[in-house]
Amino acid sequence: MASITLPVLALPHPLILLPTARITLPVHRATGEALLSLVQDSEAQPVIAAVPLSSPDASLYAWGTSARIVRLIRPPARNQKQPYLLSLQGVSRVRIIGHADSQPFQQDGVLARRVEFPDAEGGVPSMESIVKFKAAALKLLALLGKDTTQQSKRDTYRKIADMLEDTADEKLAWMADVLVATVNGEYTDKLDFLSATNADDRLQRATAIFVKQASITEVSKKIAQSVDDSLSKQQKEFFLRQQLSAIQRELANLTRNGVVSPSASAASDVSNHSGQGSELDNEEQAEVEDMADVKAKIEAMAKDSEERKMGVREWRRLKRIPQGSVEHGLEWLTAIPWPASQGNTASISVDTLRDPAFLANARGQLDSDHYGLEKIKKRLIEYLAVVRLKALQADREQALAASQHKDAQSPHADLNLSINTLLPHQNARPSSSSKSQTSTVKGPILLFIGPPGTGKTSLGQSIARSLNRPFQRISLGGVRDEAEIRGHRRTYVGSGPGLIVQALRKAGRPDPVILLDEIDKVGQSNLHGDPAAALLEVLDPEQNHSFNDHYVNVPIDLSQVLFICTSNSLDTIAAPLLDRCEIVQLSGYTYDEKVHIARRFLLPKQITANGLAPEQIELSEDALLTIATMYTREAGVRSLERAIGAVVRYKAVDWAEHIDSSLTSISTDKSKQVALHSSSEHALKEYRRIVETSELEKILGIARWDADERERDERRGVVYGLVVTGMGEGGILPIETLLIPSGTGKLLLTGSLGEVIKESGELALSWVKTHAYELGITQHRSVDPLKVPGEPRDIHLHLPSGAVKKDGPSAGIAMTCAFVSLLTGACVPSDVAMTGEITLRGRVGPVGGIKEKVLGAHRAHIKKLVLPYANRKDVEQDVPPEVRAAMQFVFVRTMEETLEAAFGKGVLGWRRDSMPVLESRL
Ligand SMILES: Nc1ncnc2c1ncn2[C@@H]1O[C@H](COP(=O)(O)OP(=O)(O)OP(=O)(O)O)[C@@H](O)[C@H]1O
């Protein structure tokens, strides 16, 4: 046996290099460098011994393979961690001399060792081994070829099989090396094969490997096959279940229609009722019921109507493509209360309207829901009277038309006609298809304008109650997309009908009262269509008998719906909308009215809502007034209701604690077995049911408006004007002015002011400059008060709440008074407020929103109001008498009168003798 010294490379576990095979593996840097120097030192391809590990714990196997270094790739210098790549070509078996098992293997280097080449490499195997070997190898190759899906692999297996057939017997040992290197096998088997030097031995060991491998391949194929089988079984089961549910559905349909034999239906009944499962378990049943419901609704639709045609179309489509559930669109279509469908006639509301006591009942309803609002209630009764008359008239016309129709078919036409005209029209029903007749049942569209919390919504509810119709509220605030009103087309994912159709569905009747809240906040034409235009279509009596919702896609008759709109102010409503409405203006309440509303409506409501009994709490008159004046300052009663709610809740806790403590004292004191009922009497004795004004601070905190009033003192250059906010609330607004030294006579205006109010400020200053001499501000007529020699100044005028936009001419007289006060040094008392437009000639013109402004001033405890003379009638007509009595009103025509009213008689040193001739009266 020849022996030489070869560098030994330990192959990482579980890698084996067999003779004839080629492998590429990464090697450590140190090993790579050692191999590199080997390559550089030798002229031909250097030979090393590639030795596998006998086990993963790094001891070398006794046998290895001599191999040529075919290629060695050095990693780039910048990447120090990357290993070398080594390609080896196996040549022949070698045995390491002095058996290496016990020697530790050096990972990062190449050890030189003596190795010997076995003599018996080669030789001719026995015939038996050859036959077995070939058979096993061919079988395995055939199996592998069948198994693989890759054509290239299949070709390789076939080529090897061909090679095997052609190989001479003496070369079969070499072929065994080729084959074992190609097929998968266990590591230990391959190690064993590596140590087989004798050709016969080698063939036998290879045969064993092939047989084992072939059986493994067969077993795994069987497993895969059985997994496949079970999967298709599941699919089959799923398919059968689908069919089963379809059959069950059909059977249930038959049972409903009474076709299935009683025994069968009884059996299904038993199975339904005896089971304890919840309704959620019985999906099939629910679906069948849904379908039956939809079918019944389509059948109830008026014959030949658009909705029925669409319903039938959709129903057929659904039947053709069963999706397992009622399609969303069809569900909506059938959920709409179509006016002409059976059971949806307006007979309920017509009966209500026929009642001779209808108007009296309506008045009673309005009175029992609302305090005061006399003018508005009167207007609403007129409105209801019109609705009633129109409805009755239409009802009569329809009855007449129906009887004429009958007469035309009857041989006793004349007789019938005379009887019909005599009879009251109790049983007349509107004909389903007569659009022209139903369209006459329309009242005017009401538009409630007023500040928040003044009862707009609750008036709408009262109207619905008195008409005996359902009430629905649609909030239009922030509606920017036309589709929100009209619905999305069905092609959109997640589409649905618009707000109007949704409200109709919720109402469940074709004639509800629909309140369109905040109609002024609807967006105008934009990228998403024109919501305001869609709303116009809804409200227009000429168009709304065929309103088109994109989702439902069938014209819907809205002519029986009673629309009521609300808005906080008139200015922000689009003109075309305003054109279609009848305006009912609601203003704020006086303190007196608020206290009444609180006592009669809000307090009882809050007591019930918070679980107390009326006898358990009482608010003194003074406490209610204090809440209204000191804790809230609003036109409506919403904050007042909230504050009262807070007081009631406080008392509810008080009461509950008291009951609890008295109960525990009774139960712990066992010697005194007092009956339970006496405990509440006992509790009542100690519980203070009256809430006094002094307790309010403890309950509601420090009064919000108290401090504000105290801060309002007389100041030079400060005057109170009157405003109406965008929400329709009236109030006072201080106008502040300041003189800035070393100026150039400029006027600076700040506080988010619009063009009109700025012009009015300039106008006011011009008037004051012109009259500076008469007012004693300057010593000479020709001197500009801001440009007095040696003392030039600027004026700064500011309106607080700088973030709120302000505009309009009505602050004219207040700004003039502020300038006069600033330049003369005289002050306007802090309980005086004013509003009015000023002209260049010093005339005072009328302004709008007088009622809101006066009520706002009253809430702010203003004592004297200076108003344009032309607004006198507004005060007399609109302002409640108790407010008029509580304040002094001065109506002025000119600026001179205004100054006198604002500053007080004789306060300003007016140079009367030098007054210019103001104007000529022609
Ligand atoms: N005159 C009144 N009599 C009795 N209760 C009233 C009166 N006015 C308003 N209320 C009550 O005040 C509360 C607020 O009223 P409502 O919701 O109708 O206000 P609104 O004017 O619709 O407000 P918004 O403009 O904010 O919608 C309701 O509980 C209502 O019953």
pLDDT tens-place string over residues 762-808: 999 999 999 998 888 888 888 888 888 888 899 999 998 767 778 88
What contacts 24+ positions apart, CB below 8 Å, involve 528-534?
A: 528/480, 528/481, 528/482, 528/483, 529/481, 529/482, 529/483, 529/486, 530/482, 531/479, 531/480, 531/481, 531/482, 531/484, 531/485, 532/574, 532/576, 532/577, 533/482, 534/482, 534/485, 534/486, 534/498
Count Cα neighbours of 230 within 13 Å in the Cβ-side half-sphere.
Answer: 5
- Assess whether 205 and 327 both reside in one domain: no
The pLDDT score that the predictor gives to residue 273 is 47
Please state the rounded mean pLDDT for residues 668-678. Answer: 48
Q: Tell how far the Cα of 584 is from the centroid of ligand 1, in angstroms.
A: 15
Angle ∠(306,253,266) on CA atoms, nearest 5: 150
pLDDT classification of 669: cutoffs 50, 70, 90: low
The pLDDT score that the predictor gives to residue 497 is 87
Task: Specify the range with the lowest mean pLDDT, choosing from 141-155, 455-469, 907-921.
Answer: 907-921
- Point out the domain boundary residue: 706, 724, 753: 706
3-class DSSP assignment, residue 83: coil
Residue 347 has pLDDT above 80, yes or no: no
- CATH classification at residue 376: 3.40.50.300
The pLDDT score that the predictor gives to residue 231 is 64
At 838, the amino acid letter reads I
Q: Where are the beta strands (DSSP E) in 682-746?
A: 690-691, 718-724, 730-741
Kindly state whether residue 358 falls inside one of the protein's structural domains. Answer: yes
By C-alpha distance, which of 53, 59, 62, 47 is closest to 94? 62
- 884 CB near ligand 1 (under 6 Å): no
Residue 439 has pLDDT above 50, yes or no: no
Residue 32 has pLDDT above 80, yes or no: yes
The pLDDT score that the predictor gives to residue 814 is 95
Kindly state whether residue 266 falls inside one of the protein's structural domains. Answer: no
Residue with CA nearest ligand 1 atom 30: 455
Question: Residue 4's domain spans which residues?
Answer: 1-119
450 is in an annotated binding site: yes
Give a three-class secondary structure readout of 358-395: HHHHHHHHHHHHCCCCHHHHHHHHHHHHHHHHHHHHHH
How many other C-beta atoms can be found within 10 angstroms of the C-beta atom of residue 316? 9
Atom nearest to 566 CA in ligand 1: 25
- Assess whether 730 and 865 both reside in one domain: yes
Kindly state whether residue 408 falls inside one of the protein's structural domains. Answer: no
Residues marked active site are found at: 810, 853
At 243, the amino acid letter reads Q
pLDDT classification of 278: cutoffs 50, 70, 90: low
At 250, the amino acid letter reads E
- Assess whether 541 and 615 both reside in one domain: no
Residue 698 has pLDDT above 50, yes or no: yes
Atom nearest to 454 CA in ligand 1: 21
Tell me the best of 568, 624, 637 to mutate to test the pocket of ligand 1, counting ligand atoms within 8 Å of each CB and taking the most: 637
Please state the rounded mean pLDDT for residues 200-209. Answer: 89
User: Between the ranges 192-206, 434-448, 842-856, where is the mean pLDDT highest?
Assistant: 842-856
pLDDT classification of 299: cutoffs 50, 70, 90: confident
pLDDT in tens, 5-15: 888 888 888 88
Kindly state whether residue 271 falls inside one of the protein's structural domains. Answer: no
Q: Tell how far the Cα of 641 is from the centroid of ligand 1, in angstroms.
A: 10
- Assess whether 828 and 743 both reside in one domain: yes
- Point out the domain boundary residue: 584, 601, 619: 584
Question: By percentage, how much of the chain surpasses pLDDT 90?
Answer: 18
Please state the rounded mean pLDDT for residues 341-347. Answer: 58
The pLDDT score that the predictor gives to residue 270 is 43
Are the C-beta atoms of 50 and 63 separated by less than 8 Å? no
- Assess whether 649 and 620 both reside in one domain: yes
Kindly state whether residue 513 falls inside one of the protein's structural domains. Answer: yes
CA distances to 722, 758, 805, 852, 867 from 808, rounded to whole Å, are: 11, 9, 10, 16, 16
Residue 325 has pLDDT above 70, yes or no: no
Atom nearest to 455 CA in ligand 1: 18
Kindly state whether residue 369 falls inside one of the protein's structural domains. Answer: yes
- Select the more confidently predicted residue: 395 or 155: 155
The pLDDT score that the predictor gives to residue 714 is 83
Residue 426 has pLDDT above 50, yes or no: no
- Assess whether 104 and 132 both reside in one domain: no
Q: Where are the beta strands (DSSP E) in 501-575?
A: 513-517, 547-548, 555-556, 562-567
Kindly state whether residue 412 falls inside one of the protein's structural domains. Answer: no
pLDDT classification of 635: cutoffs 50, 70, 90: confident
For residues 155 and 149, give the distance between their C-alpha atoms in angstroms, rounded to a whole number. 11
How many other C-beta atoms can be found within 10 angstroms of the C-beta atom of residue 247? 10
The pLDDT score that the predictor gives to residue 240 is 78
Tell me the best of 454, 515, 632 to mutate to test the pocket of ligand 1, counting ligand atoms within 8 Å of each CB and taking the most: 454
- 456 CB near ligand 1 (under 6 Å): yes
pLDDT in tens, 738-766: 999 888 889 999 988 889 999 999 999 99
Handedness of CA 825, 830, 836, 837 (dihedral sign): positive
Q: Tell how far the Cα of 665 is from the centroid of ligand 1, in angstroms.
A: 44
- 458 CB near ligand 1 (under 6 Å): yes
pLDDT classification of 102: cutoffs 50, 70, 90: very low
For residues 892 and 909, give the distance between their C-alpha atoms in angstroms, rounded to a whole number. 20
The pLDDT score that the predictor gives to residue 798 is 92
Q: Tell how far the Cα of 2 is from the centroid of ligand 1, in angstroms.
A: 114
Q: What is the DSSP string of 314-364?
A: HHHHHHHS--SS--HHHHHHHHS--TTSTT--THHHHHHHH-TTHHHHHHH
Please state the rounded mean pLDDT for residues 645-653. Answer: 90
- Assess whether 387 and 531 both reside in one domain: yes
pTM for the model stands at: 0.58
Question: By percentage, how much of the chain surpasses pLDDT 70?
Answer: 82
How many other C-beta atoms can be found within 10 angstroms of the C-beta atom of residue 404? 13
- Assess whether 791 and 909 both reside in one domain: yes
pLDDT in tens, 522-558: 877 677 778 888 888 888 888 888 888 888 888 888 8
451 is in an annotated binding site: yes
Residue 415 has pLDDT above 50, yes or no: no
- 569 CB near ligand 1 (under 6 Å): no
Residue 676 has pLDDT above 70, yes or no: no
Residue 416 has pLDDT above 60, yes or no: no
Residue 671 has pLDDT above 60, yes or no: no
- 455 CB near ligand 1 (under 6 Å): yes
pLDDT classification of 246: cutoffs 50, 70, 90: confident
The pLDDT score that the predictor gives to residue 257 is 65
pLDDT in tens, 814-841: 999 999 999 998 999 999 999 999 998 8
**Residue 448 β-bridge partners:** 566, 584
- Point out the domain boundary residue: 315, 335, 355: 335
- Assess whether 574 and 655 both reside in one domain: no
452 is in an annotated binding site: yes
- CATH classification at residue 701: 1.10.8.60
What is the distance of C-alpha 447 from the center of its chain?
Answer: 29
Q: Tell how far the Cα of 472 is from the centroid of ligand 1, in angstroms.
A: 16
Residue 326 has pLDDT above 70, yes or no: no
CA distances to 137, 479, 492, 523 from 529, rounded to whole Å, are: 78, 11, 16, 10
By C-alpha distance, which of 910, 866, 918 is closest to 887? 866
- Assess whether 796 and 753 both reside in one domain: yes
User: Between the ranges 297-306, 532-541, 721-730, 881-890, where is the mean pLDDT highest?
Assistant: 881-890
- 514 CB near ligand 1 (under 6 Å): no
Q: What pairing do the DSSP bridges indicate for beta strands 445-449 and 581-585?
A: parallel
**Residue 60 β-bridge partners:** 53
- CATH classification at residue 13: 2.30.130.40
- Assess whether 61 and 129 both reside in one domain: no
For residues 436 and 394, give the distance between their C-alpha atoms in angstroms, rounded to a whole number. 10
Number of domains in the chain: 6
Residue 428 has pLDDT above 60, yes or no: no
- CATH classification at residue 813: 3.30.230.10
Task: Specify the range with the lowest mean pLDDT, choosing from 288-292, 299-303, 607-611, 877-881.
Answer: 288-292
Kindly state whether residue 850 falls inside one of the protein's structural domains. Answer: yes
Please state the rounded mean pLDDT for residues 461-477. Answer: 90
**Structure tokens, 898:** 């205004």
Residue-averaged pLDDT of the chain: 80
Q: Tell how far the Cα of 369 is from the centroid of ligand 1, in angstroms.
A: 10
Q: Where are the beta strands (DSSP E) in 28-152?
A: 47-51, 53-55, 59-60, 63-73, 84-96, 111-117
Residue with CA nearest ligand 1 atom 11: 455
Residue 341 has pLDDT above 70, yes or no: no
The pLDDT score that the predictor gives to residue 749 is 92
For residues 573 and 698, give the distance between their C-alpha atoms in angstroms, rounded to a whole number. 43
- Assess whether 702 and 803 both reside in one domain: no
- Select the more confidently predicted residue: 407 or 354: 354
For residues 545 and 701, give the distance between their C-alpha atoms in angstroms, rounded to a whole number. 54
Please state the rounded mean pLDDT for residues 636-658. Answer: 89
Residue 679 has pLDDT above 50, yes or no: no
Please state the rounded mean pLDDT for residues 478-502. Answer: 83
For residues 30 and 38, give the distance between their C-alpha atoms in angstroms, rounded to a whole number. 12
Is the bond into 916 cis (omega within 30 degrees of 0)? no
